[in-house]
């Protein structure tokens, strides 16, 4: 969409060594004398810390990714920055990892809540895409300012050409009457050519600006739709959580009532048992007292 510089110039602007110096050309045929222990081992899976560092590096270069056509050098820059932080990842691995993260981010934006939980880096990615929208808007404004400058240049060139034509007219006043029709035809052809060039340039500029505006409009509409879907999803999840909490409270209250009823019944049974034991003990004491009195009376 917007022009970018060469690979080495872009790397120099970012303040790092050009990829051509970091990765020198290697021969296409590997020597058979290289042992198996010297080969590069298989890369492990991405850890959360490594993924967060990768997202931070990619966010630093988001403006360059937006403005550049050729992203190969930028992915090499990302790989070199990862190497500086202690993670050995190739540009292809970084590019593949970014595609996977973007797919998971889009899945969280548009899918159900259960599937959305699979993207633990949603906030970081959302910040990057918000920055991308601002960069696109900034580039649109820059393109519009550039489009006004060529128009002024066209006006100046047309003025210069018209002055040149007027000077040619002054020089040709002294010519003969036979040469005047041919020269007037040449001036008309030049004027027609200049008008055609002006119209073609104006059409190209208007088409470019309209194309960028349509793309930005579609991008903002997509962002708005995703935000509306995300809000609906969050509201639905909040409502479901409230319903779940209400059902849980009702079930807990029901269990508490049942526990109180069981405890009350147990206390009543214990009270009845205690009363029965007390009455039994009183009858036993009365019977023993009667037997003792009878024995004492007989002994006397």
pLDDT digits (tens, 9 = 90+) for 169-193: 444 444 444 455 566 677 777 777 7
Q: Which residue has the higher pLDDT, 19 or 37?
A: 19
How many Å apart are CA 205 and CA 203, to the nearest integer?
5
How many Å apart are CA 209 and CA 2, to the nearest integer?
12
Averaged pLDDT for residues 60-84 = 85
91-132 confidence digits (pLDDT tens):
999 989 888 888 888 876 555 555 444 567 888 888 888 877
27-71 confidence digits (pLDDT tens):
333 343 333 333 444 667 888 888 989 899 888 888 888 777 778
What single string gives the DSSP state of each residue in 69-83? S--HHHHHHHHHHHH
In angstroms, the Cα distances linking 87 to 21, 52, 90 are 20, 12, 10
Q: Does residue 77 have a pLDDT over 60? A: yes
């Amino acid at each position: 969409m917007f022009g970018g510089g060469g690979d080495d110039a872009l790397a120099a602007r970012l303040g790092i060594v050009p990829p051509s110096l970091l990765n020198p050309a290697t021969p296409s045929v590997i020597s058979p004398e290289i042992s198996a222990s010297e080969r590069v081992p298989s890369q492990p899976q991405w850890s959360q810390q490594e993924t967060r560092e990768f997202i931070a590096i990619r966010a630093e270069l988001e403006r360059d990714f937006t403005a550049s056509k050729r992203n190969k050098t930028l992915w090499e820059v990302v790989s070199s920055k990862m190497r500086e932080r202690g993670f050995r990842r190739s540009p292809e691995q970084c590019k593949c990892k970014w595609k996977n993260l973007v797919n998971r981010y889009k899945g969280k934006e548009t899918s159900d809540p259960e599937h959305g939980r699979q993207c633990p880096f949603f906030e970081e990615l959302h910040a990057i895409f918000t920055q991308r929208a601002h960069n696109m808007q900034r580039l649109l404004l820059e393109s519009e300012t550039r489009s006004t400058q060529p128009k002024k240049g066209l006006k100046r060139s047309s003025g210069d050409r018209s002055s040149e034509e007027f000077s040619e007219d002054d020089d040709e006043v002294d010519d003969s009457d036979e040469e005047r029709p041919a020269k007037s035809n040449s001036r008309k052809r030049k004027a027609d050519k200049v008008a055609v060039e002006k119209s073609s340039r104006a059409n190209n500029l208007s088409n470019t600006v309209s194309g960028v505006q349509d793309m930005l409009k579609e991008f903002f509409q997509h962002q708005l739709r995703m935000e509306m879907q995300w809000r609906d999803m969050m509201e639905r999840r909040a409502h479901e959580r409230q319903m779940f909490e209400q059902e849980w409270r009702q079930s807990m209250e029901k269990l508490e009532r049942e526990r109180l009823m069981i405890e009350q019944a147990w206390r009543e049974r214990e009270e009845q048992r205690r009363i029965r034991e007390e009455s039994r003990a009183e009858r036993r004491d009365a019977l023993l007292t009667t037997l003792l009195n009878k024995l004492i009376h007989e002994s006397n």
